[in-house]
Amino acid sequence: MRFLSESPWYPTALLPGKNLHWKGLDSNSARAVLSDSGYSVSAVFTFGAGGCSSACAALLPGKQRVLMKKIVIFTDLDGSLLHPRTYSFDAALPALNLINEKRISLVLCSSKTRAEIEAYRARLGNSHPFISENGGGIFIPGGYFLNGNIGEKKPATYHVVALGKPYEEIRKTFTDLRDLLRIKVKGFGDMNAEDIAELTGLTFEEASLAKLRDFGEPFVFEEGPREEFLEAIEENGLHWTEGRLHHILGDNDKGKAVNILKGLFEGEVGKIHTVGLGDGFNDLPMLKEVDRPVLIPKEDGSYDPRVTLPNVIKAEGIGPTGWNKAIIDLLK
């Protein structure tokens, strides 16, 4: 029984043979029957997008049910999977390879725009859903969730769940409040790609992608943070959060988006086990939603004091170094 439950980790063991027979049940699942020395056990395997086994529910002859939970990892990018200054994920390659080997779903969940995240998905070879602009948008590749009938069955297209308010609306409130309160704040809408590259350390090309905003405006205080500006944002029906920069946004956060995706995964494969990794205040709602929250330290080695959760794991190492070690420790 244990052999069948663990066999998705080494799928060649599941090739049909003298002792192993398969029977298709529907377009997403099949039953494997293993026979040896007069005993037989069977297991139902469910397959997700790409043909990978995404869950296994095995039945002992006595009808005892054994479940192997699917793991889904949600991760922040800047300062977490990506180094806070160089934006490199190289130090996390061992853990990324392990995630691929184990066919675990890695969901990127960032304050970055759709276009920026798409560039990182291509570099990482990642084809899972992703969350943009602090939970403003959830992008699900077509056909990814077959049971929930989410998305057309064309992987090149997305089903988009928009939780954020339109950028134009947010930008107007931002400029109205700035004019009203006469506070020196500057948003990405006031900057060209060179300015953003200089502020953030992104390349010119990356900074151009960072300007393609759908759901929120990153901004900086030019003369130090002003509490009254943040309060005015809330009083005017919008919200703010803080990652590398401050952000003004609608009624969305990373946690709400993670919660929706968790529901979609569970509709597909049953109960899942979730891990979340982040380094900032804007990651707190996401970390609250997962079973194993991991807090990555800032470049100076400190942990964001606002992220206080009883079960949080404090990663050891900056950005992708801490990310790598935390994931390997959790998966081994």
- Using CB under 5 A as the binding rule, the residues of this chain from 61 to 120 that contact Mg ion are 76, 78-79
Judged by DSSP in three states, 90 sits in helix
Q: Nearest CA to 293 among 241, 252, 258, 266?
A: 258
**Residues comprising the chain, all counted:** 332
- Of 48, 187, 280, 293, which one interacts with Mg ion (CB under 5 A)? 280
**Residue 75 CB, nearest distance to Mg ion (Å)?**
10
- Using CB under 5 A as the binding rule, whether residue 243 contacts Mg ion is answered as yes
- Using CB under 5 A as the binding rule, whether residue 297 contacts Mg ion is answered as no
Alpha-helical (H) ranges within the chain are 2-6, 93-101, 114-124, 167-181, 193-200, 204-210, 227-235, 254-269, 284-289, 319-331
Q: Which is nearer to Mg ion, 79 or 320 (CB)?
A: 79
Q: Which is nearer to Mg ion, 158 or 215 (CB)?
A: 215
- Of 279, 287, 293, 304, which one interacts with Mg ion (CB under 5 A)? 279
- Measured CA to CA in angstroms, residue 107 lies from 116, 134, 220, 221, 233 at distances of 14, 13, 28, 31, 29
**Residue 152 CB, nearest distance to Mg ion (Å)?**
32
**Residue 155 CB, nearest distance to Mg ion (Å)?**
28
Q: Which is nearer to Mg ion, 158 or 219 (CB)?
A: 219
**Residue 322 CB, nearest distance to Mg ion (Å)?**
12
Question: Which single residue brings its beta carbon nearest to Mg ion?
Answer: 79
Q: Nearest CA to 112 among 220, 225, 208?
A: 208
- Using CB under 5 A as the binding rule, the residues of this chain from 183 to 212 that contact Mg ion are none
Q: Nearest CA to 58 among 26, 28, 34, 24?
A: 34
Binding site for Mg ion (CB under 5 A): 76, 78-79, 243, 279-280
